[in-house]
Structure 1
Amino acid sequence: MKKFIRNVLLFSIVFFVVEKLFYFFLFISPSLEVDRRLENLLEGNINKDLVIFGSSRGARDLIAHQIEDSLNLSAFNLSYPGSNIEFHEFLLESLLKYNTSPKAVLLTVDDPVEFISNESLGFRFDRMYPLAKYNYINNELIEREEKNVLSRFLVLARFNQSNLNILQKRFNTVDSIQVCGSMPISFQKENIKFNYGKIDHYSLNEENEVLINAFERFQKLCLTNDIDLHIVFPPNFKAHNPDFERRIKELSDKKVHHYIYSNSTSQYSDSDYYHDATHLNKDGAVLFTNQVIEYLRNYYSN
């Protein structure tokens, strides 16, 4: 019995010593990422007048430094390709927790899937795994059932396969991030045929209540922190969807503002201004950002 207890104690000591050695991988994981925006957010380094949230359409279609240069205010883009409104809410909540509150927020919306579950948009857990050393991130992963409570005590329980990759990451041709956080694409996608699309049918029956609730909480975070929230409708290579616009406005607080791209702008029906059917290329992004700038200039001059 004494030998058994001794062996158990010895195993426990060795396990905890070895287990702590894996903290090295957790510690260096953030520094190996090329997209360090979330880490900078947690470190309190994103203190801007205006912050952009959204999925790839926010990342590609709006250029934060262009807004900054034109309006003489600091701006940053926190849009993540493939992210949904739940992730945007998490980012905004984190921004307010660790940074000064911005004066204005731009939230781009995805026509027609903003509130519809789909494979292209989700909660970007992959951006959180490299930051598992932060208790704040680990607690969020536990709450979302991506980790269990053991991760509060064991380094190995925080581990993800991505933490074992100790090679420096590199930008690819599509996801290259500017200093301002924006990710415009300078080229057109290869082997793509552009057909000007018809309006998508919008069905309330397909909506996901979880996403709608996240949208409502996102608004509440802005309003309770005296942040001007501007919901932005970027162009697709198709006709504008009035049903989608109407639904967004129905779910918006009366204090929330909306900017819908100009239907009269001929370039938005010209494929030369698009990377693909749902994303502008850099020329299109410069054009669209300039129009948003004019909208903001008029709004704040009144």
Structure 2
Amino acid sequence: MTKRNIYRLLLFIILIIIIDRSLGFLISNYSLKYRFDNRIGLLLKDSLNKDVFIIGSSRALNGYSPKVIEEETNFTCYNLAVSGSNVEFHETVLDLILSSKHKPKTIIYNLDDCATLMQFKGQIIYPFEQLYPYVENDKINKIVAEKMDKNLWTTKFSLTYKHNVNFISAVKYLRGGKEKPSFEINNIDKYGSNLMEGKAKGFEDMVFQNNNPYKFEKSYKPYQQSLENIINKCKSNNVKLILVNPPIFFTKNKGFLEEVSKICNNDAEIIDYAELFASNDYFYNHGHLNKKGAIEFSKQLSKALNKN
């Protein structure tokens, strides 16, 4: 190969690298700008120095008021719950919390009656899209690469390949700007919560369900393992863990809390508020509190936090 051809090859490689880096940077930048919910980003930047973190799925996102907890206790509080997420994702969120510079004093983990330990395919998932915009972080990138069966080494070499999961979000930003928050899912306030007014459509006159919509049977082993991991990680990091069974407007499952108690083995406190409210005034639907319910429930929870 002549020197001239070698120079052409080197120039071509340099050009490819420049294009890859530039395109990858733009995709990453635009996808971050597109997101309305940036709580994971704040956590990765060590911008959340809080005494108490709330983790869980939609019942935690919609049913707790950190503002009230701060007013009723001497603790700062923030909500990192994600709608529709499973206990495996909650373990990931806990890992990110514990790896930050500011470790909390307490973790409140919201239990979803039976759904914490049972698999509901398509309904309760590991929401990768919550992590995609932050793949520049090595830990997040590793998780995403493993879950999506991407070549980890290639993600380190090619910025475009690393951020390909964010391409659609980048395009959406260019077309319409920032993401419009969903009323029920990610209308996040400055405390990390999404409190909902009134009642959901069709639930205005809801009555108490004597028959539980779910029947707790055998726990799903990977979910059980993740719950065990959450308990053990809090214990080893000297972080108090409180497992909270929130208010619901249906008959709670027999055996669910007993199973949780066995897994817990006295390494975390379990508080059952399932039957706290007898009126539908406090509920958005049968499984979720509305803003009025979240405020009153958070006042009751604050009493337990003060005792601790």
Amino acid at match of 2:201: E
Residue 6 of structure 1: how far off its partner (Å): 7.1
Residue 28 of structure 1: how far off its partner (Å): 3.7
Gaps of 5+ in 1: none
Q: Does 1:154 align with 2:158?
A: yes
In the alignment, is the contact (CA less than 8 A) between 2:34 and 2:169 conserved in 1?
no
Deviating more after overlay: 217-226 vs 238-247: 238-247
Q: Does 1:130 align with 2:137?
A: no
Residue 66 of structure 1: how far off its partner (Å): 0.7
In the alignment, is the contact (CA less than 8 A) between 1:129 and 1:163 conserved in 2?
no
Gaps of 5+ in 2: none
Distance in 1 (alpha carbons) for counterparts of 2:265 and 2:31: 40
In the alignment, is the contact (CA less than 8 A) between 2:59 and 2:112 conserved in 1?
yes
In the alignment, is the contact (CA less than 8 A) between 2:109 and 2:241 conserved in 1?
yes
The alignment's TM-score, normalised by the length of structure 2, stands at 0.88
Aligned to 1:77: 79
1:57-206 superposed matches below 5 A:
57-118=59-120, 119-149=122-152, 150-158=154-162, 159-160=164-165, 161-166=168-173, 167-174=177-184, 175-192=186-203, 194-197=206-209, 198-199=211-212, 200-204=214-218
Distance in 2 (alpha carbons) for counterparts of 1:201 and 1:37: 33
In the alignment, is the contact (CA less than 8 A) between 2:248 and 2:274 conserved in 1?
no
Distance in 2 (alpha carbons) for counterparts of 1:147 and 1:138: 10
Residue 157 of structure 1: how far off its partner (Å): 1.0
Q: 1:188 to 1:146 in 2, by over 3 A?
A: farther
Distance in 1 (alpha carbons) for counterparts of 2:298 and 2:149: 37
Distance in 2 (alpha carbons) for counterparts of 1:57 and 1:211: 18
Residue 137 of structure 1: how far off its partner (Å): 1.5
Q: Residue 29 of structure 1 aligns to a residue in which SS?
A: helix
Aligned residues: 294
Q: Residue 279 of structure 1 aligns to a residue in which SS?
A: coil
- Listed one character per residue, the Cα deviations across residues 133-182 of structure 1 (whole Å, up to 9, x for unaligned) are 22232122123235322111101212123233322123232232111111
Amino acid at match of 2:131: M
Q: Residue 165 of structure 1 aligns to a residue in which SS?
A: helix
Distance in 2 (alpha carbons) for counterparts of 1:41 and 1:141: 17
Distance in 1 (alpha carbons) for counterparts of 2:107 and 2:56: 11
Residue 296 of structure 1: how far off its partner (Å): 1.9
Q: Percent identity?
A: 24
